[in-house]
Amino acid sequence: MRETTDLLRQLVAINSINPDLVADGPGEGDIARFVATWLGAAGLEVTLDEPEAGRPNVVAIARGSGGGRSLLLNAHSDTVGVAFMERPHEPVIEGDRLYGRGAYDMKGGLASIMVAAARAKKLKLRGDVILTAVSDEEFASIGTSSIVKQYHADAAIVTEPTEL
């Protein structure tokens, strides 16, 4: 749990406001590079794909030995704006909760699947585990549109927080 919380703190500290929602939003470039570097260091095969210039998706694969089913783990890397928030990119832990822009939607899910994919790599599974950290979920979903054309899996877990 500590590994995931520490990773979440690092992700929240990265400003990834969607530039289609807020004019000066930096987009997903910095967070995508961080995610790609972290997953590469964990031994996954990592690709950065730009469905639109400066709006990268991260795809990381923990290759299985073959003959197994594949699982796709999905999260998005962009956030909405920070109007009326004090220090939105300085994560704060109060009790058992971490606060900061994107902690809930959706960097918590992203941190969780990053740790899960890194652990899957060590398990030597038969099937592939494919992690996708997509850009632009908060506006037009260009990242997801690109991913579904290129990658296929037997099952998927989408970590978007919903009321389901």
Which one from 28, 136, 137, 138 is the annotated catalytic residue?
Answer: 137
- Closest among 128, 4, 112, 150 to 63, alpha carbons compared: 128
Single-letter amino acid code for the residue at 108: G
163 is catalytic: no
- Closest among 45, 18, 49, 19 to 32, alpha carbons compared: 49
Q: What is the C-alpha end-to-end distance of the chain, expressed in Å?
A: 24
Which one from 78, 105, 128, 138 is the annotated catalytic residue?
Answer: 78
Which residues make Cβ contacts (< 8 Å) with residue 112, sequence separation at least 6? 4, 159
137 is catalytic: yes
Q: Which residues are catalytic?
A: 78, 137
